[in-house]
Structure 1
Amino acid sequence: MGQDVHFITVAAPDLDAARRFYDALGWRATLDVPAEIVFYRSAPGQLLGFFQAEKFARDQGARAEHLSVSGLTLSQNLSSRAEVIALVDRMVAAGGTVRKAPQQGEFGGVFHAHVADPNGLVWEVAHNPAWSVGPDGSVALG
């Protein structure tokens, strides 16, 4: 197996809320099938999809009430503390819920916040001055 992740797909109990949230943040759908699934480009060569929860469950042979996003964060590293605060404000205005307000992190010198999207997917919005993201999306750690 190659060391690549091309699709991250999340069960969305409220697909329309997911669509409104990401659209409000300026994301543009790569594929949008109403009442079923919406995909957004999340990184070069990678898509983040939101699949209507009952259909997601049927696809996996599971029960929809057993689906939840847990023990996972998606993260975005920004250039400054001010950008972290501004993005958290935009996420809240778009329907997100702050789980951890912007603050100095306990680990690794990061300034960060955690915000859940309307379906419970948690984003860590961070500024770690030791890490950088290149124009091509490549990440340098330290």
Structure 2
Amino acid sequence: MKLAERPTPRLTVVTLGADDMSASLKFYEALGFARRSQAAGEKVAFFETGASVLALYPSAALAAEAAQPSPAPAGFRGVTLAWNCRSHDEVDAVMTLAAMAGAAVLKPAAATHYGGYAGYFADPSGHVWEAVVAPGIEVGDDRRVTIPE
């Protein structure tokens, strides 16, 4: 099959399956993500993140929509989400905020093998996040990340 016009690749929304929507909503709101379009209540949630959107949807319903077995496998799922920071202090602040919001701290922030500084935490449904400052990667005032060529 040949496309007449190649679609422009873009990542616009990351949807996380939430085992407990109420707990997940409280967690992401405590992290400071701005929730939008709240008319759906706890059926679905959308948060502004800068250049994309983070969505929460009940895990079982998300699995059914994607024609996948439910529940999600326990343990590491092969995916991490990154919260890029501007400094070591900001990484530490994110890790502290996440812990205060109820995250499980998986790995305290420390120097990385590539010259960065990072820590890992998990949200109430076990989704793994990295708080990181990495050499050469800049975070703008608009929260967008710039990666060098």
> TM-score, normalised on structure 1?
0.87
Cα deviation, 1:8-58, whole Å, max 9, x if unaligned, reads 1111111111101111111121133233211111222x1111111121122
Give 1:67 shift. 5.5
Q: What's the C-alpha RMSD, in Å, of the aligned pairs? A: 1.9
Cα deviation, 1:63-92, whole Å, max 9, x if unaligned, reads 322466711111122121111111101100
Query: What's the counterpart of residue 84 of structure 2?
Result: 77
Which region of structure 1 is more displaced relative to structure 2, 27-36 or 47-56? Answer: 27-36
- 2:5 is equivalent to residue 6 of structure 1: no
Structure 2 residues not aligned, in runs of 5+: 1-6
Residues 83 and 138 (structure 1), Cα distance of their counterparts in 2 relative to 1, 3 Å cut: closer
Count the aligned residue pairs: 140
Percent of paired sites with the same residue? 26
Q: Which has the larger radius of gyration?
A: 2
Q: Which one of 113, 119, 122 corresponds to residue 125 of structure 2?
A: 119
Q: Which one of 108, 111, 131 corresponds to residue 137 of structure 2?
A: 131
More strand, by proportion: 1
Query: Equivalents in 1 of 2:31, 2:17: separation in Å?
Result: 20
Query: Equivalents in 2 of 1:6, 1:29: separation in Å?
Result: 16
